[in-house]
Chain A
Amino acid sequence: MQSWRRRKSLWLALSASWLLLVLLGGFSLLRLALPPRPQPGASQGWPRWLDAELLQSFSQPRELPEDTASPPQAPHGGSCNWEACFDTSKCRGDGLKVFVYPAVGPISETHRRILASIEGSRFHTFSPAGACLLLLLSLDAQTGECSSMPLQWNRGRNHLVLRLYPAACPRTFQLGQAMVAEASPTVDSFRPGFDVALPFLPEAHPLRGGAPGQLRQHSPQPGVALLALEEERGGWRTADTGSSACPWDGRCEQDPGPGQTQHQETLPNATFCLISGHRPEAASRFLQALQAGCIPVLLSPRWELPFSEVIDWTKAAIVADERLPLQVLAALQEMSPARVLALRQQTQFLWDAYFSSVEKVIHTTLEVIQDRIFGTSAHPSLLWNSPPGALLALSTFSTSPQDFPFYHLQQGSRPEGRFSALIWVAPPGQPPLKLIQAVAGSQHCAQILVLWSNERPLPSRWPETAVPLTVIDGHRKVSDRFYPYSTIRTDAILSLDARSSLSTSEVDFAFLVWQSFPERMVGFLTLSHFWDEAHGGWGYTAERTNEFSMVLTTAAFYHRYYHTLFTHSLPKALRTLADEAPTCVDVLMNFIVAAVTKLPPIKVPYGKQRQEAAPLAPGGPGPRSKPQAPAPDCINQLAAAFGHMPLLSSCLRLDPVLFKDPVSVQRKKYRSLEKP
């Protein structure tokens, strides 16, 4: 009886265990046996075929066709692309040479000035036979300035028809193989890589210089409207969309909140500017927004964005689909401050680099075409899309961004750790032995170049120096000083006058500072410019003031790129001006660097200054090169040629960290800078 009961409990335990096993195991087995039904919502994916390995490749080597010679043809004969319609063989040698058809009959002032501007540029040639590009200006139809078919037309081959203003001439003759540069061409008629899309310029667009961007601060002012909307009749309306979805289809107006709309005639003051994409005229709003630093938001533009071939518009504008207004609005509201900051700054850079004047627009057009001809030696995208822009960063200098002073941060590179000293010896022409020794004493000095620029014969003996010394026999012109000599291999140049006097310690410290600011000029002696109310013009002085805007190039560090810029990008007239008025060359060099960097130069301490800086005796130039009576005309001529005043003032000087601090001299690295 008892054993039976025992056996019963044993059986009970056993069967309970079995039940558990069946329950647990059964489920698993069930799962193994039957593949699960696709559950709703669970992703099923592309099947893994059992015989996937056996599938044939899409192309079998044997079936590849033999080469055939005929290149793909244009579908409708009339269309053109770069390879088919442009003859680059005419552009051998020194790049793009442009011939402009002279105007026939009476022309407007604008037309005349545009012609003059092109003729003054480095691209221009007077010979149509030697030109690689023939430019036909097609200006305003209303003034009747439409040209007939020119003589060398040749079916339009290697021609560029420049239609600067929207109301340009009707096409009175077949354009044939000519390229067209026109304002906001429609996407359908635009031939990418062949035509050039121009901005839609207002009639009163300045020819040269141009108004600077409106942005006065990097980040948007707190409380500024999020959106500005273009109005039909011109002007802008700002809408504070807040958090509610308030699209631009007029609903905001019907439902006005407090302080919601505000009409503005000229430039919008908002973070984003909404521009409809349909009408090409909207492109003029696009330019306004750029200038105002208001990020353009283009809704499905039917026109090609200006210079889209080279400008990366995704960095400065937002091209969105007009069919998704709420999504676009939400995206704008949620956009990170970092992106807004970057977009805003880019609008200003682009405006200033390529759009602010008619001259810049024309030069950009020619630069785009030159880049097509140059092929591998064209501007890399970085040079087009970051300051100072492709018009100021010449690809003839280099195609490697590290060679320029502007892109070290983006490239993760650093300027070279050595410099070349370039000593200009003007009359009376004494070999600057002391100066050579002082400069050669610097551990950073790579070489010394003496530019012998006077009538006296070259001395046959030069001092022994630790670094190579080269003597160049110059042409006795001041502009020689800024010629890009191929012997200069270092990034930095220390430009000197034979009469300058510097100590090794001064040179060392200044070079160290320059390495932190390789795009600026770092100098010892300064000039400052001012607006002269009495004469209604600019003036400048060498007197010591609390501010300065120029450094003398008779003792200054700067990047060798500025020699290339001085020699190859300046209009010849300006270089001639410098040759005729030697004191002007300092101003000119400072103008160039300031126009490129938009920053003032840097001043470093200069030991001997106190002794001589006292009263600047008129007409009594000391032993060192002081600007003789400053030529005020020079600065005004330059300001006119540049179209604006690029100089900026600085109120600081960079000194060694312990400069004149009450601490033991033994601790100081640059103690000799403090000697009286």
Chain B
Amino acid sequence: MCASVKYNIRGPALIPRMKTKHRIYYITLFSIVLLGLIATGMFQFWPHSIESSNDWNVEKRSVRDVPVVRLPADSPIPERGDLSCRMHTCFDVYRCGFNPKNKIKVYIYALKKYVDDFGVSVSNTISREYNELLMAISDSDYYTDDINRACLFVPSIDVLNQNTLRIKETAQALAQLSRWDRGSNHLLFNMLPGGPPDYNTALDVPRDRALLAGGGFSTWTYRQGYDVSIPVYSPLSAEVDLPEKGPGRSFALEATFCVVLRGARLGQAVLSDVLQAGCVPVVIADSYILPFSEVLDWKRASVVVPEEKMSDVYSILQSIPQRQIEEMQRQARWFWEAYFQSIKAIALATLQIINDRIYPYAAISYEEWNDPPVVKWGSVSNPLFLPLIPPQSQGFTAIVLTYDRVESLFRVITEVSKVPSLSKLLVVWNNQNKNPPEDSLWPKIRVPLKVVRTAENKLSNRFFPYDEIETEAVLAIDDDIIMLTSDELQFGYEVWREFPDRLVGYPGRLHLWDHEMNKWKYESEWTNEVSMVLTGAAFYHKYFNYLYTYKMPGDIKNWVDAHMNCEDIAMNFLVANVTGKAVIKVTPRKKFKCPECTAIDGLSLDQTHMVERSECINKFASVFGTMPLKVVEHRADPVLYKDDFPEKLKSFPNIGSL
């Protein structure tokens, strides 16, 4: 092209010599080449839109074209289902090997059409739902196409409905699967078991050790901890998208309770419809194992009435308080949304249950299975939930963060060492440019004193879970807090023992909503309320150090280190958020009069400092997505504080003095 340009510039003489015909010819040729190049380039840089529609890399075939397998009449039949099977007897866990993600791998056999000696087919090749189910597994994280790495095998032989298959021949088809091995680690999905007249409650196809995910198990056929009870999918739910408008279902809409009666089979597709309508199912089907009952708590979403009490249903339902009914309705809707509404949901819940059995230490908890999202969001699970008053003898570890105020640091060490329950003192030396003083220069105290040198001058170093911390109680104290008396510190420790899951600190602060600015504001004035304590002097559980260092939400930790401010506010947010509880401020407010004690009150008075602190609160509230701080109007004092009582008989006389 460059050549042609050059040619054009130089060649006014040439152009007239060329025939108009030729010129058009060349221009057209160039345009085509150019267009071709552009098109190709676009094709190169836009490959995803084309490949992501799976049609490109998956073979396009018809179900009718799958290979046909002839089953000789005398081919082996598996044993009937072994009722004594448990995971540790019938499941070959070695196949699951060790997987760092704690996830089982599932292989799906290729689809085939099975015919008998006369060429008559054994069953429908595959139903719409089973195809959907296998597709869902194939699209999930569980799927592997490597048969050697698989831990669970899913035959593509469709046994969802026993009525559509020939029992003996289907069993023979199972037995000839390449990894059948008595059916161990094979998972069959069946929703409509049994057949007339007696309707067995489990699939009649002999299946030896295979796991059965079945709809309609009874207590007699269900192998607890081995089989999985699944819902009977209602093909109706796929067709009616908006249950609210579905004309045929108004029965469920207005009803609070919907009776699900046992039919010929125990499992009823109508259960799914009932849940979808947010109606509480009243299950009258003795011995029925409700879907996913291994993990779902049906007491919260249904009423199970024994058949012989059918006549009492009305009075049973009337005795349920309104509040419980509302909770049950919410729960029913949640179960439908999470585990019933699609074939995919059913397939994935089944695999998750089996996965949890194989990797129990990574299993999903009761709450994760059962709590609807609204409860999960609103609830707090305190990591220190056990009411436990730690023994006084354990004592606490004081952690002093220091940079270079050695003189003040030594005074703090001397003061703190007078507290009877101190068991160790840890100095976090945050200055990389200067070495800590010689060993001989440090104050001689009665407890071990350790100096930890940090790699960087970061505020978060104060909250690092150092191995040296051997007690549960930690006292964080600044290197200039020399005004706290030994009585005050000891009392603070005693208060912490009664509230080990809270921050127990001395100077209290408050957050307020600024209606003019429409944002949070930091307050350090003399208020009647408190929502934070400064960690310049505060007791807390060492577990919060672990949380601060490793589990702080968002970028808060780095933000604090970058701004060199607000690590205490961050800690207050963290603890309040994880425990749902307020701080405890101990002892009266002190006027810190000594000139060098600027850290707590002196600095806070600075106007820009206040603005910065307010910014921190707003920043943290947005990262946490909520305002976790709790406001209270109380503080903790010794029982006899300021009471008319002989001072020398008081346990903590020296409190509040300056």
> Taking beta carbons and an 8 Å cutoff, which residues of A are in contact with B?
3, 6, 9-10, 12-14, 17-18, 20-21, 24-25, 28, 35-36, 43-52, 55-59, 63-68, 70-75, 79, 81, 83-84, 88-89, 187-188, 192-193, 215-219, 221-222, 300, 302, 312, 314-315, 318-324, 326-328, 330-332, 335, 337-338, 341-342, 345-346, 348-349, 375-378, 380-381, 385-387, 398-400, 409-413, 509, 512-513, 516, 526, 544-548, 597-600, 603-604, 609-610, 613, 648, 650-663, 667-670
- On chain B, the residues within 8 Å of A20 by CB distance are 37
Q: Quick one: CB contact mask for B187-225 with A, threshold 8 Å, 1 for yes?
A: 000011000111101000000000000000011110011
Contact B306 A88 (CB under 8 A): yes
B316:A659 contact, CB within 8 angstroms = no
Contact A73 B220 (CB under 8 A): yes
Binds A, one of B372-380, B404-412, B435-443, B558-566: B372-380
* B297: Cβ under 8 A from any A Cβ: yes
A512 contact from B86, B221, B581, B634, Cβ within 8 A: B634
Residues from chain A with Cβ under 8 Å of B581 in the complex: 409
How long is the Cα–Cα vector from A526 to B639 in the complex, in angstroms? 10
CB–CB A72/B287 < 8 A: yes
B93 contacts A59, C-beta separation under 8 Å? no
Q: Which 4 A-B pairs have the closest CB atoms?
A: A412-B378, A46-B138, A345-B386, A58-B127
Tell whether, in the assembled complex, residue A43 and residue B40 are in contact, meaning their CB atoms are under 8 Å apart: no
Measured CA separation A323–B201 after assembly (Å)? 32
A79 with B220: CB separation less than 8 A: yes
Q: Kindly provide the distance from the CB of A303 to the nearest chain B CB, expressed in whole angstroms.
A: 12
Are A217 and B633 interface neighbours, CB within 8 A?
A: no
A35:B57 contact, CB within 8 angstroms: yes
Closest CB of chain B to A598's CB: distance in Å? 4
How many Å lie between the Cα of A667 and that of B375 in the bound state? 40
With A320-B361, A376-B303 already in contact, the answer to whether A412 and B379 are too (CB < 8 A) is yes
Residues of the B chain whose Cβ atoms lie less than 8 Å from the Cβ of A381:
297, 299-300, 366, 370
Q: Is the CB of B633 within 8 A of A669?
A: yes
- With A and B bound together, what is the CA distance between A658 and B642 in angstroms? 13
Distance in Å: Cβ of A421 to nearest Cβ of chain B: 21
In the complex, the chain B residue whose C-beta lies closest to that of A304 is B224
Asked if B231 CB lies within 8 Å of chain A CBs, one says no
Q: A386-B385, A657-B585 are in contact. Are A667 and B379 (CB under 8 A)?
A: no
With known contacts A68-B199, A327-B98, A47–B59 Cβ distance under 8 A: yes
In this complex, which of B143, B198, B299 has the most chain A Cβ atoms within 10 angstroms of its Cβ? B299
Question: For residues 597 through 629 of chain B, which have their beta carbon under 8 Å from a beta carbon of chain A?
Answer: none
Closest residue of A by beta carbon distance from B18: A3
A662 — which chain B residues lie within 8 A by C-beta? Answer: 591
A448 to B174, CA, bound (A): 74
Nearest CB of chain B from residue A426's CB, rounded to whole Å: 28
Is B638 a contact partner of A651 (Cβ separation < 8 A)?
yes
For window 120-145 of B, CB contacts with A under 8 Å fall at 124, 126-131, 134-135, 137-139, 143-145
Whether B304 is near chain A, meaning CB under 8 Å from some CB there, is: yes
Residue B52 interfacial (CB < 8 Å): no
Whole-angstrom CA separation of A381 from B542 in the bound complex: 31
| Known A46-B137, A65-B264; contact A375-B529, beta-carbon cutoff 8 A | no
Judge whether B633 and A192 touch: CB under 8 Å.
no
User: Would you mind naming 27 contact pairs between A and B with Cβ atoms under 8 Å apart?
Assistant: A6-B7, A9-B3, A28-B40, A46-B135, A46-B137, A58-B129, A64-B263, A81-B287, A84-B286, A89-B308, A219-B542, A302-B88, A321-B93, A381-B300, A410-B381, A411-B379, A512-B632, A544-B640, A545-B639, A546-B652, A604-B634, A651-B494, A654-B635, A655-B637, A656-B633, A657-B529, A657-B585
- A247 CB, nearest partner CB in chain B, Å: 13
Within 8 A of A (CB), among B338-378: 358-363, 365-366, 370, 375, 377-378
Q: Are A653 and B633 in contact (CB under 8 A)?
A: no
Stretch of B321-329, B444-452, B516-524 with 4 or more beta carbons under 8 angstroms from chain A? B321-329
A71 and B286 contact, CB distance less than 8 A: yes
Residues of chain B contacted by A657 (CB below 8 angstroms): 508, 527-530, 585, 633-635
A249 to B439, CA, bound (A): 48
- Known interface pairs A88-B306, A218-B384, A544-B643. Does A516 touch B196 (Cβ–Cβ under 8 Å)? no
**Chain A residues, CB < 8 A from B9:** none
Chain B residues 52 to 109 lying within 8 A of chain A, measured CB to CB, are 54-64, 84, 86-88, 93-94, 96, 98, 102, 108
Q: Do the beta carbons of A648 and B389 come within 8 Å of each other?
A: yes
Given the interface pairs A28-B40, A314-B366, A342-B383, the reply to whether A83 lies near B306 with Cβ below 8 Å is yes
CB-defined contacts of B224 to chain A, threshold 8 Å: 192
Residue contact B131 to A52, C-beta cutoff 8 Å: yes
Contact residues in A for B160 (Cβ distance below 8 Å): 58-59
B553 in the interface (beta carbon within 8 A): no
Pair B220/A66 contact, Cβ less than 8 Å:
no
Query: A55's closest neighbor in chain B, by CB?
Result: B128
Query: What is the minimal beta-carbon distance from B184 to any residue of chain A, in angstroms?
Result: 13
Nearest Cβ in chain A — how far from B232, in angstroms?
8
In the bound assembly, the distance between CA atoms of A216 and B362 in angstroms comes to 27
CA distance A84 to B307 in the complex (A): 10
B246 interface residue per 8 A CB criterion: no
Chain B residues near A312: list those with CB within 8 A.
Answer: 366
Closest Cβ–Cβ distance, residue A395 to chain B (whole Å): 11
Chain A minimum-CB-distance residue to B190: A58
Interface residues of B in 264-305 (CB under 8 A from A): 264-266, 269, 286-287, 297, 299-300, 303-305
Residue of A whose beta carbon sits closest to that of B51: A31
User: Closest residue to B216 on the A side, CB-wise?
Assistant: A72
Taking the closest CB of chain A, its distance from the CB of B23, in whole angstroms, is: 12
Q: Is the CB of A66 within 8 A of B264?
A: yes
Closest chain B CB from A525 CB (angstroms): 12
User: Which residues of chain B have C-beta atoms less than 8 A from A546's C-beta?
Assistant: 638-640, 649-652
B472 at the interface (CB under 8 A from A): yes
Tell me if B241 counts as interface (CB < 8 A to partner A): no
Give the contacting residue for A24; candidates B37, B108, B191, B529; CB below 8 A: B37
Q: Which residues of B sit under 8 angstroms from A341, Cβ to Cβ? A: 383-384, 543
- Judge whether A661 and B526 touch: CB under 8 Å: yes
A429 and B542 CA atoms in complex are apart in Å by 55
Nearest opposing residue in chain B for A298, CB measure: B360
Residues of A within 8 Å of B167, CB to CB, are none
Whether B4 pairs with A10 at a CB distance below 8 angstroms is yes
Tell me how far the C-beta of B472 lies from the nearest C-beta in chain A, rounded to whole angstroms: 5
Sample of 17 more A-B contacts, CB < 8 Å, known A219-B543, A348-B386, A597-B387: A14-B30, A14-B33, A44-B57, A57-B235, A64-B263, A75-B221, A188-B84, A215-B386, A217-B390, A218-B543, A338-B551, A412-B375, A545-B639, A546-B640, A652-B495, A658-B528, A661-B526
Given contact pairs A18-B33, A655-B637, A314 touches B145 in the complex (Cβ within 8 A): no
Report which of A17, A65, A654 forms a contact with B636, defined as CB distance below 8 A: A654
Q: Is B26 an interface residue (CB 8 A)?
A: yes
The reply to whether B161 and A59 form a contact with Cβ atoms under 8 Å apart is: yes
CA–CA, A38 and B54, complex, Å: 13
Cα separation A13 to B588 with both chains bound (whole Å): 91
Choose among A25, A66, A315, A400 the residue that contacts B36 (Cβ–Cβ < 8 A).
A25
> Is A661's CB under 8 angstroms from B588's CB?
yes
Q: Which residues of B contact A49 (CB under 8 A)?
A: 61-63, 131
Known contacts being A300-B88, A323-B94, A653-B636, is A409 close to B26, with CB within 8 Å? Answer: no
What is the chain B residue whose CB lies nearest that of A604?
B634
Q: Is the CB of A68 within 8 A of B287?
A: no
Are A321 and B87 touching (Cβ within 8 A)?
A: yes
Neighbouring A residues of B314 by C-beta, 8 Å: none
